[in-house]
């Protein structure tokens, strides 16, 4: 008889197997650093003990309203303390948190509330009218079957009270009143299964209806640790919320900060001035910002800055590839910029341009160029590659051949809610397909050249809009630049640049000359067919997360007509 | 019809669910920092690319020998490069790595090899005779049915070659020769299931046969991140291996260092001199050491030290509670000591004495006393408490009431191999029972007062041997101290101290007076019934990990007879 070998047979038990969830981080923070500041907003300063109690009150109050597993709870709010608290209080009931971009129009919001089947909506007073309009649309469309979600209004003493008073006059409960109905010692339960959903976020959906990205407790736990590890964040970090929290649950930093027993400094509205002020006042050690926010920091008028910085401030940037000149200017001001790349479907950074000490001795410009690449997979991502879109084979690491970025691992979303077709496409061949186009460099770092839909195809040749933009950004007159395809009789498409000028943008008389200058400048740096054939001056349209809205520009370029 | 709500229904797929395993860290390190030093030992310097290739060769060679899932592969080795490589090469085949304490006797080793049913044993040349003897014992006991495991000898050019030559003369294959048979591009596979075992380590088993602790890939992955997070270790850390790797897979730092793309500095034998030298030569940033090793660092003769340190060196200590005077002396020399507490069944630190910034302004002595506590749960442990051993209820946080430390979470072992009775006891009531006795302080930090079996019960009252030891350590003549129970006619037990003196220990003539001095000294600090009634001078017996062997001392105390 073969001796029994149970080396792999021991079962899981409650002592050695627990569902991975970021919720325990909060309990731990309240135990380890009960009196340390958890959340700071204007004159409101909470401790970890208070935040834990408030989140338990919230979970308790929601449970009393029958909120629990299988239910979505939505929130329309800027970066205020309540926005932090719902990240714990809602999933503590087993429900799924659905953060909604408050810059969407009522029609979009109505679509999301309906698609998510939200049972309750938290609304910051500033966005109460938006929620009301969205609900009205839903009611109109429902043909009498509408069961409206419960509304809870988040008041803000530092703002005009009129919208709050209006909401209260409609009989809506205020957030703080709701908390009062909850038990601060509420015995919340972790999820039974770590695959249970903790969050539902919607893609920006520039072309079609937004898609609902479902994130599991397991993925949120791992991403929370991943951002700390990727960035080397320290215990007790002071984190400034410039990134809107609705955007991918703030890349999971909401939960990471509890893991770090750190402090969240909240801002209703981010601006260069507010950022410099928060660094000086609260000792901010870390913040995340889209390149467009970095641009505003770099170009802030001297009276808005507080320089030199009191200490090195770590900045995580991503969302769109940061132009090297901005990276350069940030370093020169004393910010340490880590470039990461993520997407809604990952709920945080998937890759990081890991700094290579060999770059230390390079000139600043070369460093910025290397650091503008998306880099390598983060510690908690299992697979990353760039595949030829036709053959599905990895592209050579030659820095030239373009393919699609694909990923595999535990931080990838569960899938899109009620969208089997999109799921099938997104998860084809055992990979998550990002639709971002990139090259792989000989050092294994990837560099995104474009979104699939942003690439310009001129005479059958791919033109990376990002590379043309990077060249434009190095020109001293250019503040912001975005390049899209314009219909072109001869070539099919040709690059059309939209440019915001540094000194304002009202040089109408010089525009023609400036356009010629810029084209000439580009010709000296890139292939002639990459040079924009048309240049439009003026401020650029931006999304809630500060991304330039290429879909809007593409439409404008079409309206300009075929060249 | 209720609308279908699949908010929790989306299935796992290969793109969004991967078995958690630390093995990917190696592939990542080889991709991100291929030319960075991975392992340094004497004149051997490997890069991450080389280490990855060597581990793949190893996995390939083992696979050719039919090593795979369900099989244990043992290793008897000090901290040399091969010991690092087996941590990846063995589990890459799906097999389970069984590290054996090389300071055990042949009988113990035979027991472990038999219990683990090891299919193959890697033996460092220095321990070849030990392995040979163990196999002989196994053969003798087997009554002719013995199928010996394959032996592979790890040679070391920096040592006497005789043991290697002897092994080779017996027809044993050398480790490097084995690697040559493997494919450096071997397509290893991660485990199918993260609950699969990656490691099997044996408890020190002071009283009975050692127990085999099984660790899953999931637990090893989480512990690898946990140690990095707990300690705030940096990307590219230079880690000195003073902790024997056989001890809980080096608390999972083996795998963490791949995650950090850091460097392992190997030492065949740790000593204060070697530690100071490695810090100066290799820029060591981190190391782990039992309190006894800290003691040797603190008391090293000036010619063995290189002071001041070139930079702050982070030291993780645990295993047994570090006496406050040693913590104090370490800080004064420029080491930053983090006190963690773990056990074989956790395979790394479960709690950390998280530094509270409020302590910064306290006198050094008070800081050391606070830092000598075991503290709070680490970031990746879900549950920690101190339970009354009779009622199973949490003890009050009064710093006085003693109970048993219990834990719950994903870093807790799968269980003991082939030991249902021990598993039942260890996992009773949904907790892992540590058998360590502790109090909970009002700040929620726990402090271990004793192992269950180390507590001294005198006249029905508990005496914490650790507290008596801590007092003895503050006496200027005491180098090391250990206190155990001695049979006592009147009290049942009374404390008996074993003391190694700072200046040597051969003051036979003064011992009587010194014993009286020490007792008087203790009386001024602790209750009189805690004061050792007998004191024995001389060097203390130690285990392979540097722990004082209280079981040996207990036997000696018994032999001394009833007081």
Distance (Å) from the C-alpha of residue B152 to the closest C-alpha of chain A? 22
| A519 in Cβ contact with A531 (< 8 Å) | yes
In a domain, B19, yes or no: no
Residue A466 sits in the same domain as residue A419: no
Task: Give the pLDDT confidence score for residue B8 in this predicted structure.
Answer: 77
Across A227-238, average pLDDT: 96
Of residues A261, A354, A410, nearest to B20 (C-beta): A410
Distance (Å) from the C-alpha of residue A223 to the closest C-alpha of chain B? 12
Task: Give the pLDDT confidence score for residue B545 in this predicted structure.
Answer: 65
In a domain, A233, yes or no: no
Task: Give the pLDDT confidence score for residue A288 in this predicted structure.
Answer: 94
Number of compact structural domains in chain A: 3
SS3 B375: strand
In a domain, A232, yes or no: no
Chain centre to alpha carbon of residue A130: 22
Of residues A16, A357, A380, nearest to B412 (C-beta): A16
Q: Is the pLDDT of residue B280 over 50?
A: yes
Task: Give the pLDDT confidence score for residue A325 in this predicted structure.
Answer: 84
Instruction: Identify the weakest region by mean pLDDT among A1-15, A385-399, B339-353.
Output: A1-15
Residue of B nearest to A427 (CA): B15
Residue of A nearest to B21 (CA): A382
Instruction: Identify the weakest region by mean pLDDT among A42-56, A480-494, B375-389.
Output: A480-494
Q: Which residue, B451, B481, B506, sits at the end of a domain?
A: B451
Which of chain A's residues have a Cβ under 8 Å away from the Cβ of B409? 16, 18
Q: Is the pLDDT of residue B466 over 90?
A: no
Residue A70 sits in the same domain as residue A186: yes
| B16 in Cβ contact with A347 (< 8 Å) | no
B399 exposure class (CB count in 10 Å sphere: 0-12, 13-18, 19+) = middle
Give the containing element (helix H, strand E) for B55.
Answer: helix B48-64
Across B222-235, average pLDDT: 96
- Of residues A495, A17, A470, A37, the one with CA closest to residue A265: A37
Residue B493 sits in the same domain as residue B436: no
Residues near A15 by beta carbon (within 8 Å), at least 6 away in sequence:
B407, B408, B412, B426, B427, B430, B431, B432
Which of chain B's residues have a Cβ under 8 Å away from the Cβ of A12? 195, 414
Give the bridge partners for B161, in sequence order: none
Q: Is the pLDDT of residue A395 over 80?
A: yes
Q: Is the pLDDT of residue A434 over 80?
A: yes
Q: In this structure, what token pair is assigned to residue B560? A: 């001394």
Residue with tokens 């902790």: B243
Of residues B5, B234, B430, nearest to A70 (C-beta): B5
Residue B347 sits in the same domain as residue B494: no
CATH of the domain at B480: 3.30.300.30
Of residues B13, B229, B410, nearest to A228 (C-beta): B229
In a domain, A514, yes or no: yes
Task: Give the pLDDT confidence score for residue A2 in this predicted structure.
Answer: 37
For chain B, first and last CA: distance in Å? 83
Across B87-94, average pLDDT: 98
Mutate to test the interface with B, among A1, A5, A7, A195 (most CBs of B within 10 A): A7
Instruction: Identify the weakest region by mean pLDDT among A205-214, A432-441, B223-232, B290-299.
Output: A205-214
Residue B472 sits in the same domain as residue B441: no
Task: Give the pLDDT confidence score for residue A86 in this predicted structure.
Answer: 98
Q: Is the pLDDT of residue A207 over 70?
A: no
| Dihedral of alpha carbons B50, B53, B56, B57, sign | negative
Residue of B nearest to A416 (CA): B10
| Dihedral of alpha carbons B57, B63, B68, B74, sign | negative
- Of residues A424, A376, A371, A432, the one with CA closest to residue A404: A432
A311-329 residue pLDDT tens: 999 999 986 667 888 888 9
Across B532-559, average pLDDT: 87
Radius of gyration of the CA atoms of chain B, in A: 24
Which of chain B's residues have a Cβ under 8 Å away from the Cβ of A417? 6-7, 10
Q: In this structure, what token pair is assigned to residue A130? A: 């938006």
| pLDDT category of residue B1 using cuts at 50, 70 and 90 | very low
| E strand intervals along B412-491 | 415-416, 432-440, 446-451, 456-458, 461-463, 478-488
Residue A498 sits in the same domain as residue A359: no
| E strand intervals along A28-165 | 37-41, 44-47, 72-76, 96-99, 120-124, 150-154
Residue A305 sits in the same domain as residue A431: yes
Q: Determine whether the interchain pair B18/A383 forms a contact, defined as Cβ–Cβ distance below 8 Å.
A: yes
Q: Is the pLDDT of residue B450 over 90?
A: no
- Of residues A282, A220, A277, A276, the one with CA closest to residue A250: A220
Task: Give the pLDDT confidence score for residue A290 in this predicted structure.
Answer: 82
Task: Give the pLDDT confidence score for residue A504 in this predicted structure.
Answer: 54
Give the pTM: 0.89
Residue B296 sits in the same domain as residue B435: yes
Q: Which residue, A451, A480, A513, sits at the end of a domain?
A: A451
Q: Is the pLDDT of residue A389 over 50?
A: yes
In a domain, A185, yes or no: yes
Residue B294 sits in the same domain as residue B390: yes
Q: Could you tell me the residue range of the domain that residue A156 belongs to?
A: 23-224
CATH of the domain at A47: 3.40.50.12780
Whole-number Å distance between alpha carbons of B435 and B263: 35
Q: Determine whether the interchain pair A16/B415 forms a contact, defined as Cβ–Cβ distance below 8 Å.
A: yes
Residue A121 sits in the same domain as residue A42: yes
The ipTM estimated for the assembled molecules is 0.89
Residue A390 sits in the same domain as residue A337: yes
B residues 437-466 closer than 8 Å to A (CB): 444
Q: Which residue, B217, B252, B279, sits at the end of a domain?
A: B217
In a domain, B26, yes or no: no
Highest mean pLDDT among B377-386, B488-497, B502-511: B377-386
Q: Is the pLDDT of residue A471 over 80?
A: yes
Task: Give the pLDDT confidence score for residue B3 in this predicted structure.
Answer: 36
Whole-number Å distance between alpha carbons of B155 and B1: 73
Residue B423 touches partner A, C-beta closer than 8 Å: yes
In a domain, A263, yes or no: no
Torsional class of B66: left (φ above 0), alpha (ψ -120 to 50), beta (otherwise): left
Across B118-142, average pLDDT: 95
Q: What percent of chain A has pLDDT above 70? A: 96
In a domain, A43, yes or no: yes
Residue B326 sits in the same domain as residue B410: yes
Q: In this structure, what token pair is assigned to residue B61? A: 């060679």
Whole-number Å distance between alpha carbons of B310 and A536: 57
Across B244-258, average pLDDT: 95
| A312 in Cβ contact with A337 (< 8 Å) | no
């Amino acid at each position: 008889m073969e001796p029994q070998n149970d080396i792999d047979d021991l079962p899981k038990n409650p002592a050695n197997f627990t569902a991975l969830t970021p919720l325990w981080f909060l309990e731990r923070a309240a135990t380890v650093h009960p009196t340390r500041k958890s959340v700071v907003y204007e004159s409101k300063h909470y401790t970890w003990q208070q935040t834990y109690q408030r989140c338990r009150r919230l979970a308790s109050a929601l449970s009393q309203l029958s909120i629990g597993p299988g239910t979505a709870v939505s929130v329309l709010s800027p970066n205020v303390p309540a926005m932090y608290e719902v990240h714990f209080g809602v999933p503590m009931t087993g429900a799924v948190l659905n953060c909604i971009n408050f810059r969407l129009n009522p029609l979009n919001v109505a679509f999301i509330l309906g698609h998510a089947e939200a049972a309750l909506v938290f609304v910051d007073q500033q966005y109460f009218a938006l929620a009301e309009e969205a609900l009205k649309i839903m009611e109109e469309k429902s043909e009498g079957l509408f069961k409206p979600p419960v509304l809870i209004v988040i008041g803000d003493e530092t703002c005009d009270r009129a919208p709050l008073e209006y909401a209260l006059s409609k009989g809506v409960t205020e957030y703080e009143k709701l908390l009062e109905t909850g038990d601060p010692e509420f015995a919340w339960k972790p999820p039974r299964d770590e695959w249970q959903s903790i969050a539902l976020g919607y893609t920006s959906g520039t072309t079609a209806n937004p898609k609902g990205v479902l994130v599991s407790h397991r993925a949120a736990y791992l991403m929370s640790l991943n951002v700390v590890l990727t960035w080397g964040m320290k215990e007790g970090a002071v984190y400034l919320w410039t990134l809107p929290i609705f955007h991918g649950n703030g890349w999971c930093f909401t939960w990471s900060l509890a893991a770090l027993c750190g402090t969240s400094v909240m801002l209703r509205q981010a601006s260069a001035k507010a950022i410099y002020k928060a660094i000086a006042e609260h000792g901010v050690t870390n913040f995340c910002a889209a390149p467009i926010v970095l641009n505003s920091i770099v170009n802030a008028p001297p009276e808005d800055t507080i320089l030199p910085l009191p200490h090195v401030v770590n900045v995580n940037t991503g969302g769109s590839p940061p132009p090297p000149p901005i990276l350069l200017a940030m370093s020169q001001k004393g910010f340490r910029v880590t470039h990461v790349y993520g997407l809604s479907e990952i709920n945080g950074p998937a890759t990081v341009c890991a700094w290579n000490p060999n770059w230390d001795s390079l000139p600043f410009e070369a460093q910025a160029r290397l650091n503008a690449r998306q880099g390598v997979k983060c510690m908690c991502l299992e697979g990353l590659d760039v595949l030829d879109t036709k053959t599905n084979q990895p592209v050579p690491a030659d820095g030239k051949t373009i393919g699609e970025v694909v990923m595999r691992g535990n931080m990838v979303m569960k899938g899109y809610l009620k969208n089997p077709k999109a799921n099938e496409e997104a998860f084809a061949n055992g990979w998550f397909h990002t639709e971002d186009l990139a090259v792989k460099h000989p050092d294994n770092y990837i560099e995104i050249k474009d979104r699939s839909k942003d690439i310009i195809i001129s005479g059958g040749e791919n033109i990376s809009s990002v590379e043309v933009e990077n060249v434009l950004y190095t020109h001293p007159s250019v503040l912001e630049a975005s390049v899209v395809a314009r219909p072109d009789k001869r070539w099919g498409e040709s690059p059309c640049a939209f440019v915001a000028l540094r000194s304002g943008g009202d040089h109408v008389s010089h525009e023609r000359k400036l356009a010629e200058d810029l084209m000439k400048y580009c010709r000296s740096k890139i292939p002639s067919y990459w040079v924009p054939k048309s240049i439009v001056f003026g401020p650029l349209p931006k999304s809630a997360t500060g991304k330039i809205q290429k879909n809007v520009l593409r439409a404008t370029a079409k309206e300009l007509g075929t060249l």
